[in-house]
A and B are shown apart, each in its own frame.
Chain A
């Protein structure tokens, strides 16, 4: 079997092989944020954007978190009314932050939501499950079919300690999820 593979292996350029290896290794270890099941709900007064999001920390990010380095996740929701002939009209723009931190003293993971509410968890998975369901209160807002919803959830690099910044070109820190959908798609 090996003998039959060798001729093909010989034809693979070593540099290409190395690049492929790097690509796959990055794919393997890169952290990611995923957004799923986006929907739009409306009650009498307010409108809500409901979605699930999941965070998979990469090895580096998890290690940093376990060393006590706070990791901030920034969520930005922007709703625009698309206009063909002029600038888009911004209907809604809001940023939300939550910070994850491991408390060495308490042996707990601390979730600070919007710097107001603090919740402690025994494990990362608990936090993930806690954050999985998310509802964004949009208040009273009138959306049309051409309203575009732009949701970004990403690791906020600016809140990381400065020495880490020069290493941030590493893909393992490039955790970002982005969804752009029209209102009509979410109904």
Chain B
């Protein structure tokens, strides 16, 4: 832009100088070039207008696009433009009026009258001089015509000198014969009158005025009547210069008058030229200043715009924005330097903060990873039980949704009252404010299912803040396994310690009965038989019990083989079929096969059917429903009876040894069932029906290739 403006300025100034020169009537500049100059100036102004229009358009476009600094530029442009336009316009209008009045004042009536007067004076002088030369010519003509032939030449010479005539000629009417010629300086070929002039001169006199070599001359033509030859017409021609003083003055007056007349005639044109020039100058000045104001405004607003733009970047968090430092030592330069320094410091601080944040995030991610993969639940609470850290496992153990994450532990209490005991325990520990560490196992009944949860609470201080790290472990399965292990050990020992002496006891009792039979009185014999029978019966019972214990404690050794489920189950059911119990089968896939230890599975079926039979023996319409079905690579078996069901207080630990609702049961049946199913990789679930009875559902792994 500045280069364009410089070019425009050079062209504009050149054009103005040329226009000024042309106005001073310089011969160097022709009329065509003057018109061309006006055209070029107008074209130049048009160019400037286009340039400014483009700049204005761009500026408004920038404002529309909300480019920083455009509004400031507009304000500065308007201000600068007004600063120039107002004084220049005032000067223009003053000059305009001055010029118009000045031009009008040239054509004063008095001046015109004076000039006309001067010119009239000149004309009158010439008339008087013409009269004078007329008289002289008439006098010379008369004297010459009446003089003797021989004296005429001398007479003409004398009279010419006497009257101050510069040239005197006498010639005939045809102008073929010049009779006399007298004068100071003769032209080689004297100028002779035309026929018309001579025709007019015949009537007496004809006078002519002409200018030659900046002098005015008077010329008179008169006829001469020569006494010897009156029939032939001769003419006298006298030429007299007007005195140079008078001539110069008259010519000067005429020149001034002519110039005045020219000016008067060109009055309007002059006004137009000067006003046009003045207007061109005004337009050039205004438009140049407006165009220049764009450059100046941009120079002013540019650093401020850059600052505003950079501030916008900083506000968005980009501290890398640096404003180009032009090395200016003014306030704006200082501001730019300070801003760059500030953004640099901010950038460094942000980078450090980002680095720290990343480090923290990594630490947190690491901690989260540990917490997520931890099998124990972790909850960190403040003194007011606000949870500040927790992992998923904690909420799995506490059987609640994620909604309690980062919330208060009391909400958990409200939402899940089964865990009331745990929350209270935590609350009491937090409120007690004494211990540094505490550990306790809690047995919770959640959804009629027993859960054993071990809680460890550690009190720690972090940056002067007291925090409680709660470690939760669901040890239900562990406890169950431990209990099962203990029972297995007991059963194994019992089986080992008790089973061995049982056979000698039984044999001894039978031998004793056999030896003493017949040696005792009838009464004693009855006592003996009764006692030995009791011993044998009890030993048998003990054997049964020991066998069951042995079975329970047996190491898991399965001999799997494919069996046809329906056939296998039907044979077992047939053993218990009677008119009293109604067995109902659901739809079976009769060809379905499963790979199991068939003896163990038979024991499972028998135990479950016998349990059901025991439960429904006092029912009027006893019924056992059996079903098996395939679902998701599992084969499910349902055993449903309509008996009294299992008491709610023991149903959650019904698989444990010695837990039974039957009067005669050992409490090992379901424990063995549970063990066998577990050994097969299956699962079992026992629930009371809604109306009555129990539903036992167990599943075994099933693979299609088994068929």
A68 to B122, CA, bound (A): 16
Given known contacts A104-B119, A105-B122, A166 and B261 CB-to-CB distance under 8 angstroms: no
Q: How far is the CB of A2 from chain B (nearest CB, A)?
A: 40
Taken together as a complex, chains A and B put the C-alpha atoms of A118 and B213 apart, in Å, by 11
Q: Does B265 contact A166, Cβ atoms closer than 8 Å?
A: no
A69 touches B261 (CB 8 A): yes
Give Cα A13–Cα B265 distance, bound, in whole angstroms: 37
The answer to whether B270 touches A103 (Cβ under 8 A) is no
Interface residue? A7 (CB, 8 A):
no
Judging by beta carbons under 8 Å apart, are A164 and B269 in contact? yes
Residues of A within 8 A of B31 (CB): 157-158, 160, 162, 165, 168
Find out whether the CB atom of A105 lies under 8 angstroms from the CB atom of B265: no
Which residues in window 246-267 of B have CB below 8 A to A? 250-251, 253-254, 257-259, 261-266
Given contacts A68-B258, A162-B31, contact A118 B211 (CB under 8 A): yes
Contact across chains for B253 and A162 when beta carbons are under 8 A apart: no
- A157 vs B123: C-alpha distance when bound (angstroms): 31
A106 touches B22 (CB 8 A): no
A118-B211, A120-B208 known; A105-B126 Cβ under 8 A: yes
| Contact of B269 with A167 in the complex, beta carbons under 8 Å | yes
Q: What 1/0 mask marks residues of chain A from 89 to 122 whose CB sits below 8 Å from any chain B CB?
A: 0000000000000011111100000000010100
Interface string of A45-77 (1 = CB under 8 A from B): 000000000000000000110011100000000
B30 CB-CB contact with A under 8 Å? yes
Closest to B125 in A: A105
- B35 close to A163 (CB less than 8 A): no
Chain A residues within 8 Å of B, Cβ to Cβ = 63-64, 67-69, 103-108, 118, 120, 157-158, 160-168
The reply to whether the CB of B25 lies closer than 8 angstroms to some CB of chain A is: yes
> In the bound complex, do residue A165 and residue B35 qualify as a contact, i.e. CB atoms below 8 Å apart?
yes
- The answer for the CA separation of A163 and B272 in the assembled complex, in Å, is 8
Which residues in A have their C-beta under 8 angstroms from that of B38?
Answer: 166
B276 on interface, CB distance cutoff 8 Å: yes
Q: Which residues of B contact A64 (CB under 8 A)?
A: 265
Q: Per DSSP, are chain B's interface residues mostly helix, strand or loop, or mixed?
A: helix
B266 touches A118 (CB 8 A): no
How far does the Cβ of B132 sit from chain A's closest Cβ, in whole Å? 17
Given contacts A164-B269, A165-B35, A166-B272, contact A105 B250 (CB under 8 A): yes
Which B residues have a C-beta under 8 Å from some C-beta of A? Answer: 22-23, 25, 30-32, 34-35, 38, 119, 122-123, 126, 208-212, 216, 250-251, 253-254, 257-259, 261-266, 268-270, 272-273, 276
Is the Cβ of B210 less than 8 Å from the Cβ of A165?
A: no
The answer to whether B32 and A158 touch across the interface, beta carbons within 8 angstroms, is yes
The 3 closest A-B pairs by CB, nearest first: A163-B266, A68-B258, A105-B254
Given the complex, which residues of A lie within 8 Å of B270, measured CB to CB? 163
Given contacts A68-B262, A105-B251, A161-B262, contact A166 B276 (CB under 8 A): yes
Return 19 A-B CB contacts under 8 Å, by A number. Answer: A64-B265, A67-B261, A67-B264, A68-B262, A69-B262, A105-B254, A106-B126, A120-B210, A161-B266, A162-B22, A162-B31, A163-B270, A163-B273, A165-B31, A165-B34, A166-B35, A166-B273, A166-B276, A167-B268
A105 CB contacts on chain B under 8 angstroms: 119, 122-123, 126, 216, 250-251, 253-254, 257
A104 vs B254: C-alpha distance in the bound complex, in angstroms? 6
Chain A residues positioned under 8 Å from B251 (CB to CB): 105
Q: Give CA–CA (A162, B211) in the complex, Å.
A: 26
Give bound CA distance, A108 to B23, whole Å.
31
Rounded to whole Å, the gap between the CB of A131 and the closest CB of chain B is: 16
Across the interface, name the chain B residue whose C-beta is closest to A167. Answer: B269
Contact present for B262 and A107 (CB under 8 Å): no
For the A-B complex with A103-B254, A161-B262 known, give 18 more contacts whose Cβ atoms are closer than 8 Å.
A68-B259, A68-B261, A69-B261, A104-B119, A104-B258, A105-B123, A106-B126, A106-B211, A120-B208, A158-B32, A160-B31, A161-B266, A162-B25, A162-B31, A162-B273, A163-B270, A165-B31, A166-B38
